[in-house]
Structure 1
Amino acid sequence: MEEFSTDWPAIYLILFCGVGIILLSVGFLLGRLHAKKVGNRSASEFGNDAAILETVVEHAHEGLVMQDIYGRIEWSNPAYTRITGYSAEEIRGRQPQEFVLPPDKQLSSRELENFKFDLKKFSSGFKELIQNRRKNGELFWNQLTFAKVEGETEEKTRMIILCQDVTREVERFAELEETRKRLKYQAEHDELTGLATRAKITSFLQECLSRDHGKSRKVGVIQFDLDHFKEINDSHGHSAGDAVLRLVAGVLKSVLQEKGLVARVGGDEFLAVISDPDGPDQMESLVQQIFGDLDQPIMVERQRLKVAVSAGLVLAETENTSLAELINRADIALYAAKKAGRDRFSWYTDALGTAHRHRRMNMARLDQDLENNNLTLLMEPQYDLKQKQITGYEASAHWLHPSEGLVDPAKMLSAQEDSKRIAQIERFALQEGLSEIRRLREAANRPITLSVDLTGASVDNPRFGEQLVRLCEEAEIPVADLTIELNEQIVRFDEHDGLQCAIGRLSGTGCRIALDEVGGGRGGAGQLIRVNANLLKLSPWLVGDLESHTKKRHLTQSIVRLAEKFECKVMAIGVDRLEQLEILRDFGCHFIQGQLISGPLSAREAEIHLREFAM
């Protein structure tokens, strides 16, 4: 318990209060010793001070004992009796070690016989915290403070010990220490997985970088991210998601913990620091082992789930490498792994870093242009095969890229990471598209419809339906003349509370719903059951070689017939040749869109094209 005597100021505040008692006691006991020398003297020689001293010592709350240099008790006050349970008569002439030590710490008879105070060690002011036992067997913590009374010889020297029962303080301290340790553990460990937190691993990485200052060593950082984790949560519930996180954490810990430290730094993000790795081969081997351990599907609540991760790796010298730079590099490498197809790992390279910096600059420019509404609207005409005229346009927002020219900015973005940007882009296409359609309707003096391709970034907003109706009212375009296109692969069968619910809210506004990219091999006909679609848009992949591909013709014809059963109309995208148009017309397709009519046009070009176009 030495830590109590060095690290706990609360006890010593109590001890300092007892210093005065010791001084008074020393004076009193010196008087007693002096009285033995001179025999019977008048009590008045000591004056009233002696009586006061005797009263203080006899009534002190702290125990006091006087021992010779061999530890034998010559005198004790009543407080010592209250603390230990032993009367002064029971202990006089005995050593405290005989009766106050717990059974597991008692001294042998030889040790008791050979005991003698080390007067250099047990000088005045020396303190010791020790566990003692009362006469009834109860254990307590005893804080001892020693004072040495010098005699004419060593044999005549006496030790006066102040004894304080500090059991409550020690127990309170132990409780506070336990609480401190628990709070520290909670701050440094993730509650769900038991792994370290971001703060803990950041501190560990900083320690790795600072160790052996001036000597360059290697440090490895691996950033992990679960692939399609949101789908697990959405499809199977958060309890299944938690089970997956615990499983992944267990695998990471078993493979990597002895090599460094692993932490959960986000919802489904993990970070590992490998202290002084052997080299890139070892790090790749560790990652491959993790991939292998996660390769088999796992059972969660009676369901088999496939778990996969992507990883970004960095190996660097500790000298002249900052903590923030290492973590940023690992994040860049992880992004590259995900972009390459997920379920794989990627190393950080200087080329990746350069590309990331360029992307960051481009995103900054895009954000500025989004803020200033500085995008370009393009409109692709849609041709009605029955009416034999252009009856609508698909509007899309484009951005002037610094090096690539006019591009679709949404294709540069991640649906999960850039949803706010995507929503801004889609709102621009919708708002500006409605404005241009109004102008084209006035110029043509006939109804013209608008189609806009949207994603969950817009549609998931519970207030999007209200915003859509308000935009149509402001543009004086009937909501029924607006078609919201949704890529068929984002409408999932098992999505009860996600996009499917949002589509239901959209349908309630009166706008039309189109399933885009049908027949592209990514979705299925089941969406027609889940989604009350008004229009199916055939994938360009399906339309591309209708003239020469028999199976594609059969599939196209089947989709058109199926659409009739569900009272849906069909539009073919990517129609570039008259031969394609004739096949589609024979199958009963209603609309076409593609180079045969025109590619995307600016608002001014669309007006001229609408006026002059003839098939």
Structure 2
Amino acid sequence: SEEGIMITDPNKVILLVNPAFSKMVGYTSEELLGETPKKLSSGHHDRSFYAAMWDSINTFGHWHGEIWNRRKNGEIFPEWLAISTVNDLSGKTTHYIGIFSDISERKNAEEQIRYLSSHDALTGLPNRMLFKDRLENAIAFAARSHHKVAVLNLDLDQFKMLNDSLGHTAGDELLRCVTSQLKVCVRDTDTLCRPGGDEFFIALANMPDTDSISTMVDKILEHIAKPFVLEGRHLSLSCSIGIAVYPDDGGNFETLMKRADKAMYQAKDAGRNTYRYFTEQLNSDSFEYMRITHELREAVKCKQFTLHYQPQIDLATGNVQGVEALVRWNHPLEGLIPPGRFISIAEQNGLIVEIGEWVLNEACRQAVAWQMAGLPPIVIAVNMSAVQFKRGNVENLVRSALDNSGLDPQYLEIELTESILLHDMDYMLSLLKDLKDTGLKLAIDDFGTGYSSLAYLKKFKIDRLKIDQSFVGDIAIDPNDAAIVRAIVQMAHTLNLRVIAEGVENQEMLEYLSSCQCDEVQGYHFARPMPPEAFAAFMADKT
């Protein structure tokens, strides 16, 4: 038998063991004969354990279970043991037979599984599950001691780029190096965790105040910034850290983790290689983002949008040169919501694609409707988001809007932001050329607020520059803004581009723009954005 077998007399004196038994425990049969099983006792079990075991044997005639014994060399090992009684015809016990198997490998495998279920395989750090358990213990202790617990969400900056460049093997080694640096920064009472990827969680326990937290976080940033030597190369890293503090920012694991995550993204937005604490304003912004996102989905589904139109005036003639279509959200409870409250959120969650498609189609349809009503044809300007261009379907979208409405392309102008033109320039050159070939016009919106590169003005076939109202608003009192506006107009004219200034609110602004020879203007001085019917009436008064 491969299992160890021991036979004793009724007094538990060993009479016989098989070779497998001797091999497992290290004793020869001669060394065990005449001894009792106590010779193998590990000391792991108390008297009550053995009392219960023999109570079962005497009552039922058998017992089986897990027990720890000791080999001859002193090693303690687990075994699965079954003990049975042997009785004669009168029912008197004559022998006990014990059969056992060494379960060390199974126990080791179980321990390894247990370890892997609570630790990260790459770094050996606790995983999210174990981190949650330790953080909750730290919070419970802090509640009694009136101290703070800081939860840090640490994300390595630009790690994906390094990982893709060096390869995943080197990336894994880099994560192990980061782990070593972080271990230097934390105390034995703190918990360092890697949930996955290039993200780490840290629980700083028993912290007296916020200043002490900041000191430790500064230390972490400093250590991560130290150069790493990997495969003979010196590499530099940085990280962004979001911090949520118990009890200030929350009293449980989920709340603190969510708020530390939000604060980490604030650190990313602040330029990386820094940290940010969670604030209530950040929480309010997040709730507002989620609320608007939810309601925007319903708005897209139910078409709760409408367009208002603001005229664009030719400074030389005073005539209406064009009109800009501006979207409004006709909220069922809040009424008309201006684009400043929802466009940026729509760009973040991708809903701007559906909204933008509706705006383009509706603007083209309305332009044709005005013409059919007898108004003179004018150019209608429609803003298009960078997200729409990234989706790669802009040309088909524009052609479809023109075909469906029947609008002559010469009366459509697409307004682009500067940032669109600086990414994948070859693709944009080709796309804008195709759009221009349809006969429509192109304008740069908010000129001066972005990169304002002369290179793209030379390469792309732009028709108009639109000076952002942030420059126009102070041209009468700020000589720097006045100089910028004048310079933009002169440069545009040199490149044979027309210039329109937005945000013109008074006569003083108008006179300065006229002196600069700006071509067109729009703003409250002439008219606010208005519904289609009001714009039609406005045009009727002008003709």
TM-score (norm 1): 0.62
What per-residue deviation string (whole Å, max 9, x for no partner) do you get for residues 286-330 of structure 1? 445556667899999999989563635332289x94544444555
Alignment of 1:361-440 (within 5 A): 364-385=294-315, 388-399=318-329, 406-412=336-342, 414=344, 418-440=348-370
Partner amino acid, structure 2, of 1:508: D
Larger radius of gyration: 1
- Alpha-carbon distance between aligned partners in 2 of 1:569 and 1:198, rounded to the nearest angstrom: 58
Q: 1:517 is matched with which residue?
A: 446
Residues 364 and 143 (structure 1), Cα distance of their counterparts in 2 relative to 1, 3 Å cut: closer
Q: CA deviation at 1:474?
A: 1.3
| CA–CA separation in structure 2 for the residues paired with 1:274 and 1:147 | 55
Whole-Å separation in 2 of the counterparts to 1:279 and 1:440: 66
Q: Which residue of 2 aligns with 1:13?
A: none
Matched letter for residue 513 of structure 1: L
Aligned equivalent of 2:502, options 573, 586, 589? 573
Say which is worse superposed, 461-470 or 351-360, in terms of deviation: 351-360
Give the alignment of 1:168-187 within 5 angstroms: 170-171=104-105, 174-175=108-109, 177-178=111-112, 181-182=115-116, 184-185=117-118
Deviation at 1:451, TM superposition (A): 1.8
**Amino acid aligned to 2:393:** R
* 2:325 alignment partner, SS class: strand
Contact 1:454 1:486 in 2 (8 A): yes
Question: Secondary structure of the equivalent of 2:350?
Answer: helix
**Structure 2 residue 395 is the aligned partner of structure 1 residue 465:** yes
User: What CA distance in whole angstroms lies between the structure 2 residues aligned with 1:416 and 1:267?
Assistant: 28
Aligned partner of 2:247 in structure 1 is 316
Q: Which of 358, 362, 385 in structure 2 is aligned with 1:455?
A: 385
Correspondent of 1:602 among 506, 531, 539: 531
Paired letter, 1:602: P
Q: In structure 2, do the counterparts of structure 1 residues 396 and 176 end up closer, same or farther at CA, with 3 Å as the change threshold?
A: same
The 3-state SS of whatever aligns with 1:376 is strand
What letter matches 1:592 in structure 2?
A: V
* CA pair 283-532 structure 1, distance change in 2 beyond 3 A: farther
Equivalent residue in structure 2 for 1:345, among 258, 271, 276: 276
Residue of structure 2 equivalent to 1:528: 457
Q: Give the AA of the match of 1:517.
A: D
**Contact preservation (8 Å) 1:571, 1:590:** yes
User: Are residues 251 and 378 of structure 1, via their aligned partners in 2, closer, same or farther at CA, if it must alter by over 3 Å?
Assistant: farther
Counterpart of 1:220 in structure 2: which amino acid?
V
Confirm or deny: 8 A CA contact 1:516 1:539 kept in the other structure.
yes
Distance 1:94 1:405, change over 3 A: closer
List aligned pairs for 1:247-286, cutoff 5 A: 255=185, 258=188, 260-263=190-193, 271-286=201-216
Residue type at the aligned position of 1:542:
F
Aligned to 1:483: 413
Deviation for aligned residue 1:392? 1.9
2:120 alignment partner AA: H
Does the aligned pair in 2 maintain the 1:570–1:589 contact within 8 Å?
yes
SS in 2 for 1:537: strand
Classify 1:265/1:487 alpha carbon distance in 2 versus 1 (closer, same or farther; 3 Å). Answer: farther
Quote how far apart the aligned CAs of 1:426 are: 3.0
d(CA) in 2 for partners of 1:330, 1:360: 17
What is the CA–CA distance in structure 1 between the aligned matches of 2:383 and 2:503, rounded to whole Å?
A: 16
- Counterpart CA distance in 2 for 1:396 and 1:430 is 10
Corresponding residue SS for 2:399: helix
Map 1:141-180; keep pairs closer than 5 Å: 162=98, 166=101, 170-171=104-105, 174-175=108-109, 177-178=111-112
The 1-side partners of 2:179 and 2:20 are apart by 56
CA contact (8 A) 2:375 2:536 kept: no
Question: Partner amino acid for 1:315?
Answer: Y
Q: C-alpha distance in 2, partners of 1:467/1:599? A: 29
Is this contact kept in 1: 2:153–2:264, CA < 8 A?
yes
Q: Deviations over 1:145-167 (max 9, x none)?
A: 6678899xxxxx99766566x56
Q: In structure 2, do the counterparts of structure 1 residues 425 and 344 end up closer, same or farther at CA, with 3 Å as the change threshold?
A: farther
Q: Which residue of 2 aligns with 1:559?
A: 488
Mark the runs of 5 or more structure 2 residues left unpaired by the alignment.
Answer: 42-49, 58-62
User: Does 1:537 find its partner at 2:448?
Assistant: no
Offset, 1:518: 1.8
Q: Please give the alpha-carbon distance, in whole angstroms, between the structure 1 residues aligned to 2:211 and 2:498.
A: 57
Consecutive unaligned residues of structure 1, counting only runs of 5 or more, are 1-59, 99-104, 108-118, 135-139, 152-156
SS in 2 for 1:397: strand
Give, in whole Å, the separation in 2 of the partners of 1:388 and 1:297. Answer: 64
Query: Which residue is equivalent to 1:508?
Result: 434
Per-residue CA deviations over 1:559-584 (Å, capped at 9, x if unaligned) read 34544565543322233456655665
Deviation at 1:480, TM superposition (A): 5.0
Contact 2:10 2:96 in 1 (8 A): no
SS of the equivalent of 1:604 reads helix
For the residue of structure 2 that corresponds to 1:508, the secondary structure is helix
Q: TM-score, normalised by structure 2?
A: 0.68
Aligned equivalents of 1:375, 1:517: Cα separation in 2: 23
Q: Show the counterpart of 2:120.
A: 189
Q: Is the 8 A contact 2:149 2:245 kept in 1?
A: yes
Quote the RMSD (CA, aligned, Å): 5.6
Distance 1:393 1:73, change over 3 A: same
Give CA deviations for 1:35-79 in whole Å, capped at 9, x if unaligned. xxxxxxxxxxxxxxxxxxxxxxxxx66565557899997656xxx
Structure 1 match to 2:60 = none
Distance across 2 between alignment mates of 1:401 and 1:340: 33
Change beyond 3 A, Cα 1:331–1:537: same
Report the secondary structure of 2:304's partner residue.
coil
> Which residue type is aligned with residue 470 of structure 2?
W
Distance apart, 1:512 and its partner CA: 3.8
Matches within 5 A, 1:108-257: 162=98, 166=101, 170-171=104-105, 174-175=108-109, 177-178=111-112, 181-182=115-116, 184-185=117-118, 188-189=119-120, 197-208=127-138, 211=140, 220-222=149-151, 224=153, 232=158, 239=165, 255=185
Say if 1:146 and 1:160, in contact at 8 Å, map to a contact too: yes
Q: Bigger shift: 473-482 or 276-285?
A: 276-285
Query: Using a 3 Å threshold, how does the CA distance of structure 1 residues 266 and 237 change in structure 2: closer, same or farther?
Result: closer
Provide the secondary structure at the position in 2 that maps to 1:283: helix
* 2-structure distance, mates of 1:216, 1:199: 25
Structure 1 residues 241 and 347: alpha-carbon distance in aligned structure 2, compared to 1, 3 A threshold: farther
Indicate if the aligned counterparts of 1:97 and 1:106 stay in contact, CA closer than 8 A: no
Q: For 1:104-133, what per-residue CA distance to the aligned partner results, in whole angstroms no more than 9, with x for missing partners?
A: x999xxxxxxxxxxx989966587566869
1:202 Cα shift?
3.9
One-letter amino acid of the structure 1 residue matched with residue 321 of structure 2: T
Q: Which letter maps to 2:529?
A: P
| Alpha-carbon distance change, 234 to 328 in structure 1, aligned in 2, over 3 angstroms | closer
Query: What's the offset of the Cα at 1:442?
Result: 2.9
User: Quick one: percent identity of the two aligned structures?
Assistant: 22
**1:439-472 CA-partner distances (Å, limit 9, x unpaired):** 2333455432222223233222233432332122
Give the letter for the 2:245 counterpart.
V
Matched-pair contact (CA < 8 Å) for 1:84–1:133? no
Residues 480, 203 of structure 1: alpha-carbon distance in 2 compared, 3 angstrom cutoff:
farther
Between the aligned partners of 2:459 and 2:187, the Cα distance in structure 1 is: 46
Secondary structure (helix, strand or coil) at the match of 1:606 reads: helix
Distance of 1:602 and 1:95 partners within structure 2: 103
